[in-house]
Structure 1
Amino acid sequence: MPFGAHETMEVHEILSEKLNMMNHFSLYAQFAQAAELREMIERQMQSVTGSYDQLVAYTHDYSAANQPMPAYPDIRAGVQPQQIQYGLRNPAPVSPELQGRMNDSQILCAMLSFHKSSAKLHMQGALECADPNVRHMLIQGAITCADQSYEVFLLMNRLGQYQVPTMNDHTAKTYLHTYQPMQSMQPMQHMQQSGQPSGMAFNGGPQGRMNPFDGPRPFGGMMQQ
């Protein structure tokens, strides 16, 4: 069974990106100072390597899709919204540091950028795939990358390295609370508010129904009443 041209190119891009990520993460592990960061790098490296090997195997042998990948730990487990630190607290100025090695803060920033880019690349590739197994693997890859980027964000936020700017709480609620749930409106009320008279059919007849298959229409001509 052949691969389509689109998915062939998308898989090529994603495998190249995964290879690049593994090379970089291996380098980051050598420079990381904090034990928590080194453990995160090792855990995410195992995940990236596993997904890379599965996708490579599937391009050689279609049966590789039957080998399920172990799920990445649920990053949201145990995390409450109240734990996220919001607001700016005198963020330190930043500028390029070209000293030839990386500190933990730079490594975290690089990992976050990798995962965000990879999540977008995986989902974009999945939308171009005809093969159902490749599509599923890329969607799962997008979810994993999104979870891993959130794992990096949580550590950066806790360390004060990723500060989340906010707006006035009243402004945010006023802006978002203009949207109301559809369930709060009765269907008849919705039709009346949208300008559609009650009991009037779309084709102009009382209690009628619009039927897209009610017979041929002259191309480019006026609809017959």
Structure 2
Amino acid sequence: MPFGAHETMEVHEILNEKLNLISHFGLYAQMTQNEQIRSMLTRHMQSAMMSYDRLVTYTHDYAAANQQPPTYQGMTINIQPQQIQYGLHNPMPIAPQMQGSLNDQQIVSAMLICHKSSAKVHMQAALECADPNVRQMLIQGSITCAEQAYEVFLMMNQQGQYQVPTMNDHTAKTFLHSYQPAQGGQGFVPNSSYMQHQ
């Protein structure tokens, strides 16, 4: 079975993105002084390598589609909304730094950006795929990257490095409560004229 031109180019971009992520995370693991960050980097690199290998294997042999990858099990499963720290509390000034290595805060920030970007490009690529197996691999890749991004965010949030800005609670509720359930909470119920045309 042939691959379409569009999905071939999308897979090419995803594989290059994965190679880049793996290479960068390897460098970050050497630079970090924090064992928790190093452990997370190692787990995320292993996950990226499995995803990379699975996609490469499928492009060489269609039979590889039968090998289901394990779903990524990060630390985000039992998080409750109350555990997220909201609000700005003396945020540190940020400016570009041009030193030869990265500190731990720069490393986790780079990890978060890599995962967010990867989640987006995986989903965008999946939307262009005709092959159902490639499409599913890319969707799963997007979900995994989103989970890993959230895992990094949680660590940063707990350490006060990623502060979540808020607005006045009354303003937020007033704004969001303007949306009401469809059909008064009843969901979509086709009217009789709609049913007659079917």
Q: TM-score, normalized by length of structure 1?
A: 0.82
Q: Shift of residue 37 of structure 1?
A: 0.4
Cα distance between partner residues in 2 of 1:163 and 1:64: 43
Residues 140-160 of structure 1: per-residue CA shift (max 9 Å, x gap)? 000000000000000010111
Equivalent residue runs for 1:41-56 within 5 Å: 41-56=41-56
| Aligned residue in 1 for 2:25 | 25
Q: Shift of residue 80 of structure 1?
A: 1.1
Structure 2 stretches of 5 or more lacking a match? none
Q: Shift of residue 97 of structure 1?
A: 1.3
**SS in structure 2 of the partner of residue 149 of structure 1:** helix
Which has the higher relative contact order, 1 or 2, with Cα contacts under 8 A spaced 6 or more apart? 2
Between Structure 1 and Structure 2, the one with more helix by share is 2
Cα distance between partner residues in 1 of 2:61 and 2:186: 54
Cα distance between partner residues in 2 of 1:171 and 1:51: 43
Whether the aligned pair in 1 keeps the contact of 2:74 and 2:151 (CA below 8 Å) is: no
Cα distance between partner residues in 2 of 1:120 and 1:62: 26
- Structure whose alpha-carbon radius of gyration is higher: 1
Aligned Cα root-mean-square deviation (Å): 2.0
The answer to whether residue 36 in structure 2 is matched with residue 36 in structure 1 is: yes
Residues 110-159 of structure 1: per-residue CA shift (max 9 Å, x gap)? 01110111001000000100000000000000000000000000001011
Amino acid at match of 2:39: E
Question: Percent identity between the aligned chains?
Answer: 65
Aligned length: 197
1:186 to 1:84, Cα distance in 2 relative to 1, 3 A: closer
| Over 6 Å off, 4+ runs | none
Cα distance between partner residues in 2 of 1:146 and 1:67: 22
Cα distance between partner residues in 2 of 1:186 and 1:22: 48
| Aligned residue in 1 for 2:114 | 114
1:64 to 1:186, Cα distance in 2 relative to 1, 3 A: closer
Cα distance between partner residues in 2 of 1:75 and 1:40: 10
Structure 1 stretches of 5 or more lacking a match? 192-197, 203-207, 212-225
Q: Shift of residue 209 of structure 1?
A: 4.1
**SS in structure 2 of the partner of residue 21 of structure 1:** helix
Q: TM-score, normalized by length of structure 2?
A: 0.93
Cα distance between partner residues in 1 of 2:134 and 2:154: 30
Equivalent residue runs for 1:1-225 within 5 Å: 1-182=1-182, 184=184, 209-210=196-197
Amino acid at match of 1:66: N
